[in-house]
């Protein structure tokens, strides 16, 4: 059984709770879907815990890309400060290793895993269908597509341009949920193909308090702390919206 772990964001407390729950359910394989450390209070410790998982398949997220492609980080001073601080917690070799992670992982039964979508690591599927969202598949036709990035759990069929449908699953965010439920979110891909969304209670106040312990009075850390407590994205005070810049490299798997 494969545990689907997306968007941990340096939240070791949430990750440990999820790993314990997944092991109780019988998980024996792991997918680490990107955005492992950015903005969190335990970047190094979180990465170490993830590296202990065996066997595991990994994906690069937009935050791992932004650690190298700094010009692509959204033009919001607080967001950039948070990116820089958490990236500086990692050594250059680690940052290079994370940047070199694959953009795509095959799944059992012909499924595929990407960070946000086959089109881009910042263009994601939302809970409510959008216009022409089949274009996010970028010509891919898997029966199952596992994605993350939006921090919003979903499970629904998406119409493809070829007339078929793909089941799109977002497990939600382990470390920074955005759906109003502060519990850690992940999913299990059972051996029979079933996908099971799970929520795990953990001490989100402890994770929020860790922001100040690790990052002092940094304003961006306080924004993240508010998000961890509420389970909803707290607004960055220096911007109304945070634009994203698509990657320069192709997302098409070999």
Contact 247, 120 (CB under 8 A): yes
**Residue 102 is encoded by which pair of tokens?**
């694959």
Whole-model pTM?
A: 0.92
Q: What is the pLDDT of residue 238?
A: 60
216 CB-near residues (< 8 Å, 6+ apart): none
pLDDT in tens, 96-137: 999 999 999 999 999 999 999 999 999 999 999 988 899 999
pLDDT in tens, 156-213: 999 998 999 999 999 999 999 999 999 999 999 999 999 999 999 999 999 999 999 9
For the cut 70, the answer to whether the pLDDT of residue 249 exceeds it is no
pLDDT at 239: 52
Position 3 pLDDT exceeds 70? yes
Topology classification of domain 2-230: Purple Acid Phosphatase; chain A, domain 2 (3.60.21)
The pLDDT tens digits of the residues spanning 60-105 come to 999 999 999 988 888 888 889 999 999 999 999 999 999 999 999 9
Q: In what order do the strands lie in the sheet with 29-32?
A: 56-58, 29-32, 2-5, 184-189, 195-200
Q: What is the pLDDT of residues 225-245, one digit of tens each?
A: 999 999 999 887 765 434 333
| Displacement of CA 229 from its chain's centroid (Å) | 18
Q: Exposure string (b/e) for 27-52, b if CB count within 10 Å is 16 or more? A: beebbbbbbbbbbbbbbebbbebbee
Q: What's the length of the chain?
A: 254
Residue ranges per structural domain of the chain:
2-230
């Amino acid at each position: 059984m494969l545990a689907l772990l997306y968007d941990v964001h340096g939240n070791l407390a949430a990750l440990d709770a999820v790993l314990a729950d997944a092991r109780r359910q019988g998980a024996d394989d792991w997918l680490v879907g990107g955005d492992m450390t950015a903005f969190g209070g335990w970047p190094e410790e979180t990465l170490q815990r993830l590296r202990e998982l065996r066997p595991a398949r990994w994906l690069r997220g937009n935050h791992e890309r932004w650690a190298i492609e700094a010009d692509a980080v959204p033009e919001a001073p607080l967001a950039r400060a948070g990116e820089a601080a958490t990236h500086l917690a990692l050594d250059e070799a680690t940052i290079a290793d994370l940047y070199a992670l694959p953009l795509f992982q095959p799944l059992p039964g012909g499924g595929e895993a990407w960070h946000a979508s086959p089109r881009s690591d910042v263009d994601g599927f939302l809970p409510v269908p959008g216009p022409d969202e089949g274009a996010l598949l970028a010509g891919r036709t898997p029966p199952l597509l596992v994605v993350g990035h939006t921090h919003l759990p979903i499970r629904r069929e998406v119409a493809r341009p070829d007339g078929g449908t793909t089941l799109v699953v977002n497990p939600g965010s382990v470390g920074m949920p955005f759906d109003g439920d502060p519990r850690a979110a992940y999913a299990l891909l059972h051996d029979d193909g079933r996908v099971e969304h799970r929520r795990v209670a953990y001490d989100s106040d402890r994770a929020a308090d860790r922001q100040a312990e690790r990052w002092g009075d940094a304003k961006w850390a306080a924004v993240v702390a508010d998000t961890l407590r509420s389970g909803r994205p707290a607004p960055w005070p220096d911007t109304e919206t945070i634009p994203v810049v698509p990657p320069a490299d192709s997302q098409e798997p070999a």
